[in-house]
Amino acid sequence: MPTYEQKLAEFAQGKRLLRLARPIRDRADAFCDACGSTQPRTLYALEDLDSERHYFVGDTCLKELAKRGAVLRYGRHSARVAFENEMKLRAQEFEAGQGTNVGGCPPSNLGEQKPSVTSQPSPGNDTEPLFPAILVIQTAEGY
């Protein structure tokens, strides 16, 4: 199993990154593209200047990448817009069967739901397929 340093070195290899403004805060479906952690509640957007793809890393990974010289400068674009656009792009790639392994994380961590057998419409039914979901509702008494 690769160590944290190995994951960062693999992630940073060959990348020239631009840090975007305004970090992403408190997203339950977010994870760090550099190390794969689901723990960071604040993610910082990085744009690869060569591929124009976006990566999202926690503050510890951001500091380590900056120390390694992978983060070149700061940009003005909004991280929130970049996050939404990148997640749509990753979902399209995943659905197309490419299964892109962004940042060393398995495609199942991309925050998108995989279609299941139950999500297929029944024959003769022209409605959109249904995706199973679990909703958690918080009230004053509990969840």
At 122 the pLDDT is: 45
Q: Could you tell me the pTM of the whole model?
A: 0.57
In sequence order, the β-bridge partners of residue 73 are: 18
The total number of structural domains in the chain stands at 1
DSSP result, 37-63: -S--SEEEEEEETTT--EEEE-HHHHH
Q: What's the pLDDT tens digit per position in 27-55?
A: 777 888 999 888 878 888 898 888 888 89
Tell me 18's DSSP state. Answer: E
- Per-residue confidence (pLDDT) for residue 104, from 0 to 100: 46
Residue 66's contacts (CB-CB under 8 Å, 6 or more residues apart) are none
The reply to whether 44 falls in a domain is: yes
Q: Is residue 143 part of a domain?
A: no
- What pLDDT sits at residue 98? 58
In a domain, 36, yes or no: yes
Q: Does a structural domain hold residue 120?
A: no
Is residue 48 included in any domain, yes or no?
A: yes
Residue 12 vs residues 19, 57, 66, 69, 106: alpha-carbon distances, Å = 13, 12, 10, 9, 17
**Would you place residue 131 in the very low, low, confident or very high pLDDT band (cuts 50, 70, 90)?**
low
pLDDT in tens, 98-123: 554 554 444 444 444 444 444 444 44
Is 9 part of any domain?
A: yes
